Amino acid sequence: MQGIIKFDDPQYPKLLKKINDPPKQLYYKGNWDKKIFENCLAVVGSRRMTSYGQQITNKLISEIASRGITIVSGFMYGIDATAHKTALDVGARTIAIMPCGIERIHPEYQTKLYVDILENNGLIVSEFEGDSLPAFWTYPKRNRIIAGLSKATMVIEAGLKSGSLITANLAKKYKRKVFAVPGPLTSVLSEGICQLIKDGVSVVTCAGDVLEYYDIKRKIINKKEFDNSLNDLEQRIIQKLQQEPMEIDVLSRSLEISSAKIGTTMSLMQLKNLIFIENGKYYVH
């Protein structure tokens, strides 16, 4: 399903109408209904996403989106794509705002993500029609829609000259809430985040910080029940990996258990979706 929603249409998103330069029309593909716009969170960040950025995006978005919040992002590789994918993984709806026409998949290798969004009651949206090409000037125009649709914007990993800061500043201009997720001080992708925090935006330490703003109670996971579902070795592995990601050999030495035994246990833990591996190091989901 696809169509055009014009500014004077009752289906036009109310929050987007309130910005000072709303699009005259929105082209869309997918299942358009007013409910998808009721609680939107913009999620933006670096295209050069690190393993930390991926881990924290998965962790935060899986909980936030599962509580009924629509994730809005810009469909680019990195944090954008990860936010969309994570929302889909938990059965939530997501909106991709394109810097090009809705008929064009950009980046083109993200065809599966484009299709998955549409097949899961999400939306592909743009103010540009057909297969219009993206241009330097279309990205900031796209960013104002991302910020304008959303009650709040959350920034995960951003350099000082990041386009994500443009979206954050637009959100502030529209008097919307801005959240920043702290990152390692040694990373250049934390420089933009640090600047936002210096400027007084809200710091995110857990999904509950965002859910509280949306007046949604966080699901409390009973730690005792979780711990009881793990055997002794699994608990010890989780405790170590919560301190820092590790390679299997380092973990083996730290726990003083053979690599073979650790490897077998961790393979089962991956199947249970408790941990994942990236660049040779294991992380807790």
Helices (H), 150-231: 163-173, 191-198, 207-213, 223-228
One domain for residues 232 and 172: no
Quote the tokens at residue 25: 């029309």
Residue 151: which residues within 8 A CB-CB, separation 6 or more?
A: 15, 39, 40, 41, 176, 177, 213, 214
- Whether the predicted pLDDT of 183 surpasses 80: yes
Indicate the pTM of the whole model: 0.80
The whole-angstrom separation of Cα 284 and Cα 272 is 11
Helix or strand holding residue 223 (H, E):
helix 223-228
Whether residue 62 is found in the same domain as residue 190 = yes
The answer to whether the Cα torsion of 103, 30, 98, 187 is positive or negative is negative
* CATH at 267: 1.10.10
- pLDDT at residue 276, rounded to an integer: 82
Note the pLDDT of residue 37. 97
* Domain housing 17: 11-213
Percent of the chain at pLDDT exceeding 70: 96
pLDDT tens for each residue of 30-54 = 999 999 999 999 999 999 999 899 9
pLDDT in tens, 53-86: 998 999 999 999 999 999 999 999 999 999 999 9
State the Cα–Cα distance between residues 139 and 167, nearest whole angstrom.
10
Place of tokens 């929603």: 5
Would you say residue 187 has pLDDT above 60? yes
User: Could you give the number of structural domains in the chain?
Assistant: 2
> Is residue 201 located within the same domain as residue 261?
no
- Do 235 and 187 reside in the same domain of the chain? no
- Using DSSP bridges, classify how beta strands 246-247 and 281-284 pair: parallel, antiparallel or unpaired: antiparallel
Domain presence at residue 1: no
